[in-house]
A and B are shown apart, each in its own frame.
Chain A
Amino acid sequence: MRNTLAIAGRELRVYFSTPSSYLIIAVFLFVCGYGFGWSRTTFLETSLQGFLGWGAFFLLFLGPALTMRLLAEEEKLGTIELLLTAPVRDVEVVIGKYLAGLGVMSIMLALTLYYPVLLAWFGDPDWGPIAGGYLGFFLLGAVFLSMGLFASSLTSSQIAAYMVGSALVLSIWFVGHAAAALGDTAAEFLRRISVSTYFPAFGRGVIDSNAILYYVSIICVFIFLTVRSLESRRWR
């Protein structure tokens, strides 16, 4: 645990000492602000639908950008040898890195909290969908980050890590859209494995335990895969 926190802490300091993370946060806030400010739902329904939709879509591109450096750079600079020869478990390394990514994403989300404040100032919003929306958004981001982290563990090139990470999150997001072209059973299956299927319900204030379970399972699978991938580096 101490090791995990030490690694997460170091990683967070790196995030806030490099310009790219500020750029990612800035782009995120820009598109979310646009989604919030220009969506009719904001004004007609006093809801966060506009922000959630835009934010989630751009998270597909920003999530892998947040995680691409995490393990790829360790491999490139050789610092992975420090981590893997220290008395630290591989899983502690992976979770430390993951927590740092989650930390940055939480900060990104926290910076949008003035949207609900504005809603409450000018209207009378329904708090259920807002809370549900934030929970859904956080979980969705957590899924994307776990996939991005896995991608980062596969290569020493950040660009390659970004490409693989994007491919992973885009496929799990859009796989449901392929459903239309297929027969009933296959369509239902694809719809169910797509993370985008479950997301809108959060924004309506519906907290479905299946959805949470599904998101958390994906995270666990990718954390596990990352650990295995890190272990396999020892053999290469």
Chain B
Amino acid sequence: MGGGEIVGFLGPNGAGKTTTMRILAGFMPPTSGTVRVAGFDLLSQSLEARRHIGYLPETVPLYRDMTVHSYLHFAATIRGLKGSRRNHRIREVISLCRIEDYARTQIAKLSKGYRQLVGIAQAIVHEPRVLILDEPTIGIDPRQVVQIRQLIQHLGREHTIILSSHILPEVSMICEKVMVMNEGKVVAVDYPENLLNGLEKIQRIEIEAQGPPEQAIQKLRQIEGVQSVTAANTAETVLFRVECTPGRDYRGQLADVVVRSGLTLLGLKAREMSLEDIFLKLTIKKQE
């Protein structure tokens, strides 16, 4: 893995994301293979390697009876920071994670979202080269999810970030690279766009219109690249589902044909294959 990248681990529950992250963080030893972090082997040079890792486990490791500040102070100390540099870094991460107002609050009294932010703060306090975040946005209210995503993207400029999630849009939004996992194995590794292109054999377009469909169906089928057209009548409108060979934008031409066939065009949208579809496809293919 290169530096300064954000890689997302994607997979259904029980796919082995957490286990992989624990291994990468040095919490569990791998049963086979080696992990090297910043040039240090995680088993034989464990302490040096761990100095370069920031880790936020799925259950945020917080001491509930401590205040945010004293907790970060402890986290910084066991990561080897001391003196004025420690105090400086604590102030820095508190303002970066926007938890200034809660620095003197007992962690037990914080909401889930703020606990997550404190968890991220403890993971970055020693400026690790590699940041491992296990489900960083799980169970938080949407406003804070946005804040945490922005924070992660911001951190991605200086740190290499590995994050896991089972929320697909999140991964496609934040991550530059996606690793899809299922049943303990990596099913696919690629950039989100490539994943899309590779699997997309058909481009689906839906057209909603008003009027008699027969003539339109005939004309639509004649367009080059169109593979099939189906029409479904609802109470007042017709819904055409057009499947085309990917490679160009059909929308203009389709709209034109519908209008010329004497129908009133109400709506038209290209249904792109989302990461959800890819995800399902990859994980189901695996099961077969």
* A84 adjacent to B65 (CB under 8 Å): no
Given the complex, which residues of B lie within 8 Å of A17, measured CB to CB? 65
* Binary contact readout A76-120 vs B (1 if CB under 8 angstroms, 0 otherwise): 011111111111110000000000000000000000000000000
Q: With A and B bound together, what is the CA distance between A78 and B61 in angstroms?
A: 5
* Binary contact readout A59-75 vs B (1 if CB under 8 angstroms, 0 otherwise): 00000000000000000
Given the complex, which residues of A lie within 8 Å of B47, measured CB to CB? 87-89
Q: Output the least CB separation between B42 and chain A (Å).
A: 10
* B55 adjacent to A81 (CB under 8 Å): yes
Grouping DSSP codes into helix (H, G, I), strand (E, B) and loop, the A interface class, with mixed when no group exceeds half, is helix
Q: With A and B bound together, what is the CA distance between A84 and B122 in angstroms?
A: 14
Q: Output the least CB separation between A158 and chain B (Å).
A: 15
Q: Output the least CB separation between A95 and chain B (Å).
A: 14
* Binary contact readout B162-206 vs A (1 if CB under 8 angstroms, 0 otherwise): 000000000000000000000000000000000000000000000
Given the complex, which residues of B lie within 8 Å of A7, measured CB to CB? 78
Given A17-B65, A78-B60, A81-B61, A88–B25 Cβ distance below 8 Å? no
Of the candidates A80, A81, A235, the one having the most CB atoms from chain B within 10 angstroms of its own CB is A81
* Binary contact readout B58-96 vs A (1 if CB under 8 angstroms, 0 otherwise): 011111111000100011011110100000000000000
Asked if B26 is at the interface (CB within 8 A of a chain A CB), the reply is yes
Q: With A and B bound together, what is the CA distance between A3 and B50 in angstroms?
A: 14
* B29 adjacent to A86 (CB under 8 Å): no
* B28 adjacent to A235 (CB under 8 Å): yes
Q: Output the least CB separation between A78 and chain B (Å).
A: 4
Given the complex, which residues of A lie within 8 Å of B122, measured CB to CB? 82
* B50 adjacent to A78 (CB under 8 Å): no
How many interface contacts (CB-CB < 8 Å) are there between A and B?
71
Asked if B6 is at the interface (CB within 8 A of a chain A CB), the reply is no
Asked if B263 is at the interface (CB within 8 A of a chain A CB), the reply is no
* B78 adjacent to A78 (CB under 8 Å): no
Given the complex, which residues of A lie within 8 Å of B82, measured CB to CB? 2
Given A86-B50, A234-B29, A235-B29, A6–B74 Cβ distance below 8 Å? yes
Chain B: which residue is nearest A236 at the CB level? B28
A78 contacts which of B26, B57, B70, B79 (Cβ < 8 Å)?
B57
Chain A: which residue is nearest B75 at the CB level? A82
Q: With A and B bound together, what is the CA distance between A86 and B48 in angstroms?
A: 10
Q: Output the least CB separation between A100 and chain B (Å).
A: 13
* A2 adjacent to B77 (CB under 8 Å): yes
Q: With A and B bound together, what is the CA distance between A7 and B74 in angstroms?
A: 8
**Partner-A contacts on B (CB < 8 A):** 22, 25-29, 47-48, 50-51, 53, 55, 57, 59-66, 70, 74-75, 77-80, 82, 122
24 example contacts (A-B, Cβ-Cβ < 8 A) are as follows A3-B77, A3-B78, A6-B74, A6-B78, A10-B74, A13-B66, A14-B65, A79-B63, A81-B22, A81-B27, A81-B55, A81-B57, A81-B59, A81-B61, A83-B78, A85-B50, A85-B55, A86-B50, A87-B79, A87-B80, A88-B47, A89-B47, A234-B27, A234-B28
**Partner-B contacts on A (CB < 8 A):** 2-3, 6-7, 10, 13-14, 17-18, 77-89, 234-235
